[in-house]
Chain A
Amino acid sequence: EVQLVESGGGLVKPGGSLRLSCVASGFAFRSYRMNWVRQAPGKGLEWVSSISSGSTHMYYADSVKGRFTISRDNAKNSLYLQMNSPRGEDTAVYYCARERYCGITTCSRPTSWFDPWGQGTLVTVSS
């Protein structure tokens, strides 16, 4: 069974730091781009960051760029999000998500989507 399990959430003070983890199982983790997506309480989904399968490319939403760092350890089937200098607006449930890709031979145009998602870990930024 393909599974993603996040951990590391909790209460953190503004300006502090926190590291989220996501452990993958049931698939070839090293072959997939991975993502973090968050959801503030009562709000919609917001993409946070992605990392390529070999860690050569990382991308960030403008809202977290320069403060958060995504990384992975393929030997441990693990994805991480280092959150530095968090702010109140970073309070959210953080989901890790595998990115599935469909190429031109199978789909009408190359594209990718998030499947599956982990159950999420709640981060609360407050003094």
Chain B
Amino acid sequence: SYVLTQPPSESVAPGETARITCGGDNVGTTSVHWYQQRPGQAPVVVVYGDSDRPSGIPERFSGSNSGNTATLTISRVEAGDDADYYCQVWDSSGDHAVFGGGTRLTVL
């Protein structure tokens, strides 16, 4: 089965830029979606289709995907960005979703 690998944790100071990676074999050939999950809350999509933002998501959130790595970039990090972030793709059949293990982003 397809595996997505994320670093367990990242930390960043307010105002700086956070980059969260999601590694997978040729992940650049498929679409990657990113979800934010604040403590005690349900996940919310922040980037879909590699780099598109849903309405209501700040422009500070952006994504890229190439080769074996997809990246979620959060610019000008704020305290409210302190959360878990998950990447997600569909397997080769298109019928089974796969999530990365998640990255805990700590805003210092």
Contact = CB atoms under 8 A, between A and B. Distances in A.
Contact of B45 (A95, A108, A114): A114
A27 interface: no
Interface in A82-113: 95, 100, 102, 107-109, 111-113
Interface of B: 1, 30-31, 33, 35, 37, 42-45, 48-50, 52, 54, 84, 86, 88, 90, 95-102
B49 A116 contact: no
A113 B48 contact: yes
Nearest to A57: B95
Nearest to A112: B90
Given A113-B45, A117-B43, A108 B50 contact: yes
B39 to A, nearest CB: 11
A90 to B, nearest CB: 17
Interface string A12-54: 0000000000000000000000010100000011110010000
A61 interface: yes
A44 B99 contact: yes
A121 to B, nearest CB: 11
Given A111-B48, A114-B88, A45 B35 contact: yes
B86 A102 contact: no
30 contacts: A44-B84, A44-B102, A45-B37, A45-B88, A45-B102, A47-B96, A47-B98, A50-B95, A59-B96, A62-B1, A95-B42, A95-B43, A102-B49, A107-B52, A108-B49, A108-B50, A109-B31, A111-B30, A111-B31, A111-B48, A111-B49, A112-B90, A114-B45, A114-B88, A115-B45, A115-B48, A115-B54, A116-B42, A116-B44, A120-B42
